Structure 1
Amino acid sequence: MSTASPPSGDPTPAWELRARPTTAEETQALGAALGRVLEAGDLVVLTGALGAGKTTFTQGLGAGLGVRGGIISPTFVLVRIHPNLTDGPRPGGPDLVHVDAYRLEGEAEVEDLDLENWADTSVTVVEWGRGLVEDLAESWLDIELERGPLPAAAGGAAGADPEVDFDPAGAEATVDEEYDDDEPRLVVVRGFGPRWGEPPALPGAVAAEGSEDAR
């Protein structure tokens, strides 16, 4: 059973991976592993309630990409661009375009950001972008973060497939998401489109039932 449903109206994902990082460092390591395999033109859509770790995950992703640091939630700026570092781990790699779509009302306001100007030459990460930005690319990753704990009553026992009450709607966005290291996270990664026919290798991630094995 899936922890949370893919975006309504979107095609079926090619695969689904799940990881349960227990600290901010583990969440960043997960993002860094993904960042090392992302290429120009890739789109990542992040979903998660306040404090779920979206910005923490993106910080790791930026480190893996080798872009300029200082990644914070772009809530009030809407878009921040982090250029590739020529002396970083991936010189000549793509820049990171970090977007917060929380306050955007519909696809029309997304279009006003002119994200297509960077889409082909950068990696675009959009927080709160589910259902709004998937048309920017033929393929994309849908990543969902839920803060723990995952009690046994909700299926959180070892080896179980937990049911998580996940409803980001109505949560207040803020510049800095508080990340409580005492709470585990559930991270669900889904791949859509031909670019993501197979899952990337992510630390601690396992394939969901019915999807391809984690590699």
Structure 2
Amino acid sequence: MRTVELPQESDTLEFGRRLGAALRAGDLLLLDGPLGAGKTVLTRGVAAGMGVTGRITSPTFVIARVHRPDGDGPALVHVDAYRLGGLDEIDDLDLDTDLTDAAVVVEWGEGLADQLSDTHLMVRLRRREDDVRELTLEPHGEGWTERLGELTG
């Protein structure tokens, strides 16, 4: 587990860019944090790091959006599981199929989407009283520990 301080929104975007550049098809990121913690801002950075251009917004009302990079590389599937009622609804999204050729980022996914893969990265975002974001990375499964060392160096 590693914790990173992100004093400014630009720091959250930059960390997301580095994380996105390291993602591969089959990667699953679960984002946890209260409203306003920076989950969607981080996802914007992830998308930029993956070569996705265009507007990245929270998929709260559509549940899931697929974003394709401008060049080669996997697509980004961005999911907001906040309004989902349980495992059946997450299964209906067929995200395990998306994991074969896309990187999947799930906001509010803990306890639901973590069952899609034994290998995933839990990203916890908290906003302190001084407005600094703390990002805690919890690797699950093989490969993430080594990749986190490269990201947080």
Same structural fold, with TM-score higher than 0.5 when normalized by the shorter chain: yes
Which structure 1 residue ranges, 5 or more long, are not aligned? 1-15, 87-91, 151-182, 206-214
Aligned to 1:99: 79
Corresponding residue of 1:62: 47
| TM-score normalised over the length of structure 2 | 0.94
Cα deviations by residue, 1:16-63 (Å, 9 ceiling, x for unpaired): 111111111000001111111110000000001010000000000110
Q: After the TM superposition, which segments of 4 or more aligned residues of structure 1 sit over 4 Å from their partners?
A: none
- Partners of 2:115 and 2:132 in 1: CA distance: 32
Instruction: Provide the rounded CA distance (Å) in 2 between the counterparts of 1:58 and 1:200.
Output: 20
* 2: CA distance, partners of 1:138 / 1:51: 28
Q: 1:23 to 1:57 in 2, by over 3 A?
A: same
- Which ranges in structure 2 are unaligned for 5 or more consecutive residues? none
Secondary structure in 1 matching 2:6: coil
Amino acid in structure 2 at the alignment position of 1:186: E
The percent identity for this pair of structures is: 43
* Aligned residue identity for 2:58: S
1:110 paired with 2:80, answer no
d(CA) in 1 for partners of 2:2, 2:47 = 20
Separation in 1, partners of 2:107, 2:26: 17
Contact 1:97 1:122 in 2 (8 A): yes
The answer to whether the 8 Å contact 1:34/1:200 transfers is no
Tell me, yes or no, if structure 1 residue 44 matches structure 2 residue 29.
yes
1:114-125 correspondence runs (5 A):
114-125=94-105
RMSD: 1.2
Give the CA deviation at 1:200: 4.0
TM-score of the two chains, using structure 1 as the length reference: 0.68
Which structure has greater helix proportion? Answer: 2
What whole-Å deviation, never above 9, does each CA across 1:85-107 have from its counterpart, x for those lacking one? 12xxxxx1100000000001111
Residue among 115, 134, 138 paired with 1:186: 134
The one-letter amino acid paired with 1:47 is: D
Aligned residue-pair number: 152
Contact 1:98 1:126 in 2 (8 A): yes
- The answer to whether the Cα contact below 8 Å between 1:63 and 1:69 also exists between their aligned partners in 2 is no
Deviations 1:68-90 (CA, angstroms, capped at 9, x unpaired) = 3311000000000000112xxxx
- In structure 1, what is the Cα distance between the partners aligned to 2:129 and 2:4? 14
Q: Name the one with the larger strand percent.
A: 2
